[in-house]
Amino acid sequence: MTQLATLETGAELKALTIAVGGIPVTVHSTSDVFHTMLKERYAGFCEPSGSGPELKVEISESRFGDPDADLQVTRDASLWRMERGDFRAEWNAQARRGRIRQTANPYSMDSVLRIVHSLILAEEGGFLLHAASAIRNGKAFLFSGVSGAGKTTISRLAPPDATLLTDEVSFLRPDNDSYRAWGTPFAGELAKLGENCSAPVATLFLLAKGPEHRVEPVSQLEATRALMRNILFFAHDPELVERVFESACRFVSKLPVRRLTFRPDASVWDLVQ
């Protein structure tokens, strides 16, 4: 913490702690504009500063290369490097400290937070999943699929007694002998932050669109393959891939996975149990 107290110029850093999935990450920056932007972007997920992972941000007025360049993530021992047209970042997984140089926008920070959380989760057997999720009757239900599978649609159809955790990226952590789903600020087409709460996972539904509502069983092999296709991991690192695969196998061995075929009608939620 002491080393992050000031920038090299001696300017005072402002701290904002963003807690997603029960993991607080404190962001340090000298920019008032950026600090205010983050408070608005992550409203509901901010909390008083505390000990935990830290990111130090330097704001740049210019981009760093091709704005359309794909994200690149590489690893050298415990040091991860990330770069895209709008940011450059480093994350020391052992020290749980990182640095970012980016333009003054919330999207770069969003990307870095997703990557950092995916690395932290991999260490404990959790993961980020391309899935909508919601709590109903004290249980969390996941709705996973590739783009266009219906994650946003089923989120829009959710009944009033359902608490939406996300319509895009679900945050999953081991919870005793099962898993718990947490709300995230990582929104999809709804452009709406999830609720900052959690519940034990009851079922993972693999989404498909069709002329009628139907729930079908899925084998563990098929479930594992589907899960691996939809888990977010950003580097083709053999050790990371192995950890994610082990987590996927554990998940499908502990929880039911079903295929949910549905048409865009709210009555589909009658099958969610």
Residue count of the chain: 273
> Are the C-beta atoms of 142 and 171 separated by less than 8 Å?
no
pLDDT in tens, 26-67: 999 999 999 999 999 999 999 877 678 999 999 988 776 666
What is the predicted pLDDT for the residue at 237? 87
pLDDT in tens, 163-206: 999 999 999 999 999 999 999 999 887 778 899 999 999 999 99
pLDDT in tens, 251-266: 999 999 999 999 999 9
pLDDT at 2 over 50: no
Q: For the residues of 79-115, what is the DSSP string, one character each? A: EEEEEETTEEEEEETTTTEEEEEE-S-HHHHHHHHHH
Question: Could you tell me the two tokens for 148?
Answer: 């266009």
Question: Could you tell me the two tokens for 178?
Answer: 């099962």
Q: How many helices (H) and strands (E) does the chain have?
A: 5, 17
> Are the C-beta atoms of 204 and 257 separated by less than 8 Å?
yes
Phi, psi of 247 (to 5 degrees): -65, -40
